[in-house]
Amino acid sequence: MALRPSTVETATAEVFQDVLAGSSDGVLAIGLNETATADLLHSLDGMTDPPSVRLLTYESVLKWVREDFAMASIAAELVATNTLSAQMAEGPFENVLLVTDESVTAIISTKDDVVGLSTENPDLVEGTRAYWQGLYKESGSFPLRTPAYSAVGDSLATEFGPELVDDFQSMLDALGSTRGQTLDEVVIALLVAAKHEELLYDISRWGENIGIASKATFSREKMRLETAGLIATEKVPVDVGRPRLRLLLGDDRLRTEDADEFVTVVRDELPASVDS
């Protein structure tokens, strides 16, 4: 077996970047855990001209990705640009592998480092690739049910302007992850809409159209924020039908430009949702 020198990196992402940078389309990523999958997504997203990657891993890992809006929207972006396709399988996966046309790289974690052990042995590469391609074709697709981040940003800018987009992004960055949080992308959208005094009808219609959540979910979360005193509403007359509600900030502490401080106040005051 012909082995290339091992590449010892300080993070799995660096191994991915090393392998992907010299790869053509059709890379297979096999058996990645949650952390490795996150590193793969960020690595692909950061590349100017990434190869296409077919990810095959456990359903639980892909569900973990979907639970975090920011990460899921990166995955959705990669899917939309034909950079990523993700399939789920029961496994077991004995090794974490990156398989290209030219090489097989096994990713091995040690106490302090991540090692990418690669071979270019033609027979081994061909056999490994054929085996996992067959399993990939037989595996099940996984629905992300999350819009791509460019679609979110573009549609927000079109509907409400760039300042609201900047606030939405700042809140997501300050939050870090929506996984297991009392506030998520729906709550953040409502809060930034309140900061800019937008109508509940408009922000909930936007959220439903882009695929974030239904109008009913926005209405339910609005009530939770209102009960916590974080937002208030005022009625706005319309020509036909019932008045619509304008969203307003209900807590003076939220009148800050510091996104971290904003998120901290919301975390402190907002109870867990009934669904969580």
pLDDT tens-digit readout, 28-55? 999 999 989 999 999 999 899 999 999 9
Q: What's the number of CA atoms in the CB half-sphere (13 Å) around residue 128? A: 24
CA dihedral (148, 153, 154, 158) positive or negative: positive
pLDDT of residue 182: 86
Rounded to 10°, the helix 215-227/185-195 angle is: 70
- Where do you find CATH 1.10.10 in the chain? 149-269
Contact 27, 54 (CB under 8 A): yes
Give the Cα separation of 128 and 7 in Å (integer): 20
- Please give the structure tokens belonging to residue 233: 């509403």
Contacts of 115 (CB under 8 A, 6+ apart): 6, 7, 8, 9, 15, 107, 108, 109
For residues 39 and 11, is the Cβ–Cβ distance under 8 A?
yes
Options 2.60.40, 3.30.70, 3.40.140, 1.10.10; CATH for 149-269 is 1.10.10
pLDDT average, residue stretch 14-23: 86
- pLDDT tens for 86-105 read 999 987 888 899 999 999 99
pLDDT tens digits, residue range 142-155?
999 999 999 999 99
CATH class (in words) of the domain with range 7-141: alpha beta
- Parts of the chain belonging to CATH 3.30.870.10: 7-141
225, amino acid identity:
L
pLDDT digits (tens, 9 = 90+) for 236-249: 988 887 889 999 99
